[in-house]
């Protein structure tokens, strides 16, 4: 009986240690450890954006905030030569407002809004099937930006070192003074 309890305790401790280590690795590995598929289905490592100021946005084609694509493209064009990039992540988590295929989303974005910033394959930003990137973005941090994604066009500003430094909710437009000043501060 002692041997059985001992093995059970050891197994429980090992499992607990493994979970703690895995969680720490995910949290500590940072933004650059993630690879997702581009909108064209090719692996697109976020490590490709090391050294850039990044704005990560969950987007949708049939949302009241969809016209923000224009402002996103505008600020991308304005700042891209200074080391800024926007990464668009289509998601169908809210009101089924992104029902299209990746090809349909790409066509919509290029024809309607002339999107030239990098777009990724459709993902889930919330719920049981949330991709690890969005688990990382919404976890507790010292900056207080944690919490579930509430709707489309939530924006995360990431500094040149890959640290998530600010979160903007959907109502805050990409070309607002609040967002552009935050971007400019990181580009200095």
Distances 177 to 70, 131, 143, 148, 182 between C-alpha atoms, Å: 16, 30, 20, 25, 8
**Contact at 8 Å (CB) between 55 and 117?**
no
Residue pair 62/97 in contact (Cβ under 8 Å)? The answer is yes
Q: Kindly give the confidence (pLDDT) of every residue in the chain, 188 residues in length, as a single tens digit, with 9 standing for 90 and above.
A: 454 545 544 444 343 333 333 333 444 468 999 999 999 999 999 999 999 999 999 999 999 999 999 999 999 999 999 999 999 999 999 999 999 999 999 999 999 999 999 999 999 999 999 999 999 999 876 655 788 999 999 999 999 999 999 999 999 999 999 999 999 999 99
**pLDDT at 157 (0 to 100):** 96
Domain chopping of the chain, boundaries:
1-30, 34-187
Taking 3-state DSSP, the helix, strand and coil percentages for the chain, each rounded to the nearest 5, stand at: 40, 20, 40
Predicted pLDDT of residue 29:
60
Q: Please indicate whether residue 109 is annotated as part of the active site.
A: no
pLDDT for 146 equals: 81
pLDDT of amino acid 30:
85
Lookup: tokens for 36: 């997702």
Label residue 32 exposed, middle or buried (CB < 10 Å: 0-12, 13-18, 19+). Answer: middle
Catalytic choice (63, 71, 145, 165): 63
- Give the whole-angstrom CA distance, residue 21 versus residue 129: 22
pLDDT for 7: 54
Give the predicted TM-score (pTM) of the model.
0.84
What pLDDT does 142 receive? Answer: 61
β-strand partners of 100: none
Nearest alpha-carbon partner for 27 in 141, 113, 103: 141
Which helix (DSSP H) or strand (DSSP E) does residue 79 occupy? Answer: helix 68-79
Q: What distance in Å separates the CA atoms of residue 103 and residue 80, rounded to the nearest whole number?
A: 25
DSSP 3-state assignment of 125? coil
Question: So what's the pLDDT on residue 14?
Answer: 40
Q: Which CATH architecture has domain 34-187?
A: 3-Layer(aba) Sandwich (3.40)
């Amino acid at each position: 009986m002692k041997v059985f309890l001992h093995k059970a305790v050891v197994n429980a401790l090992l499992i607990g240690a493994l979970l703690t280590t895995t969680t720490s690795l995910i949290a500590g590995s940072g933004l650059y450890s993630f690879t997702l598929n581009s909108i064209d289905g090719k692996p697109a490592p976020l490590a490709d954006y090391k050294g850039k100021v990044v704005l990560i946005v969950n987007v949708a084609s049939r949302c009241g905030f969809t016209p923000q694509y224009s402002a996103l493209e505008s600020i991308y064009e304005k700042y891209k030569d200074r080391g800024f990039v926007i990464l668009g992540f289509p998601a169908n988590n809210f009101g089924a407002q992104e029902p299209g295929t990746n090809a349909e989303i790409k066509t919509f974005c290029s024809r309607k809004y002339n999107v030239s910033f990098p777009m990724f394959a459709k993902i889930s930003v919330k719920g049981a099937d949330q991709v690890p990137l969005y688990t990382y973005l919404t976890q507790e941090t010292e900056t207080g930006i944690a919490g579930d994604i509430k709707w489309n066009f939530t924006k995360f500003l990431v500094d040149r070192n890959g640290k998530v430094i600010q979160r903007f909710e959907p109502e805050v437009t990409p070309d607002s003074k609040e967002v552009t000043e935050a971007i400019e501060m990181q580009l200095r």
